[in-house]
Amino acid sequence: MLRLGTHEFETNEPLIMAIVNRTPDSFYDRGATFRDEPALDRVEQAVSDGAAIVDIGGVKAGPGDEVTVREEIDRTVGFVAEVRRRFPKLVISVDTWRHEVGEAVCAEGADLLNDAWGGVDPALAEVAARHSAGLVCTHVGRAQPRTRPHRVGYADGAVMSDILRGTLGLAGRAVEVGVRPDGILIDPGHDFGKSTRHSLEATRRLDEMVETGWPVLVSLSNKDFVGETLDRPVTERLIGTLATTAVSAWLGARVYRVHEVAETRQVLEMVAAIAGRREPAVARRGLA
């Protein structure tokens, strides 16, 4: 059972986490939701399309202009409060690695802290524990926030061994400091501290993460490993993203952090039907 906010989600229930960037320089939308009203419209559309979670981020993942703690708080906290007011039951996640930001957004109603930089600030887990919020434990290897991988390698080429060691270690520490076990997710961290081949291996071996018993979150949407695999720019990575989503769903991932909610929902519903976990929406063929 996964419990986030006021919701308890069944074991086989796939969940869509819609990305809402409160940044002027995101790699994908180039600041389309930096201002409040477009960002709120994005939340409303995402919910209408089937998102169970929104993930609000105030700092882009890649290199760029410095964003101070104060600026990240200014970009996220008031927005979290407004989303909570408009959508009382929606699961709100905030993408941050900083405990000061985590403290401020949890005070305004955030349900989940998406620590995409793998515990670089150990105090973030303690914030989640204090507020009874969930926590995403992500593998980034030895990468530091907002850096790109450079000549990254793993012993014997076994990136999955490092992913399991890293995420399980973070999850174990989270439990030790008081984070609710039913609010913890693990994330292989596609692209983060990894080459394209590492991210592909992480995908095809995703069932090894699922077998740990922790719910697995994947953040695949339009990432560089998709672009390099197919030699496509950011604007042409949807098909590759959805193919990777289907494989991840078949292997048992639970939460999908995405830009395109409606398309992802169709993929997840189709995979669930093939797996026998969902009935077809309509089944008339051959019955008349």
Helix (H, G, I), strand (E, B) or coil at 53: strand
- The stretch 219-238 carries a mean pLDDT of 97
- For the chain, the structural domain boundaries read 2-274
C-alpha–C-alpha distance, residues 218 and 244, integer Å: 10
Indicate the pLDDT class of residue 286, thresholds 50, 70 and 90. very high
Kindly give the pairing relationship between strand 255-258 and strand 15-21: parallel
Encode pLDDT of 35-78 as tens digits. 999 999 999 999 999 999 999 999 999 999 999 999 999 999 99
Angle between helices 238-251 and 196-204 (to 10 degrees): 40
Nearest Cα to Cα of residue 138 among 175, 163, 172, 108: 163
Say what the pLDDT of residue 157 is.
Answer: 65
Helix (H, G, I), strand (E, B) or coil at 252: coil
Choose the weakest-confidence range: 85-89, 103-107, 151-155: 151-155
Angle between helices 123-131 and 159-176 (to 10 degrees): 50
Nearest Cα to Cα of residue 258 among 98, 53, 96, 60: 53
CATH class of the domain whose range is 2-274 = alpha beta
Say what the pLDDT of residue 49 is.
Answer: 98
C-alpha–C-alpha distance, residues 278 and 280, integer Å: 7
Encode pLDDT of 177-192 as tens digits. 999 999 999 999 999 9
C-alpha–C-alpha distance, residues 65 and 115, integer Å: 20
Say what the pLDDT of residue 288 is.
Answer: 75
- The stretch 267-279 carries a mean pLDDT of 97
Phi and psi angles of residue 4, each rounded to the nearest 5 degrees, phi first = -130, 125
pLDDT at 223 over 90: yes
Say what the pLDDT of residue 54 is.
Answer: 98
- Supply the mean pLDDT for the chain: 96
Share of the chain above pLDDT 90, in %: 91
Helix (H, G, I), strand (E, B) or coil at 43: helix
Say what the pLDDT of residue 188 is.
Answer: 98
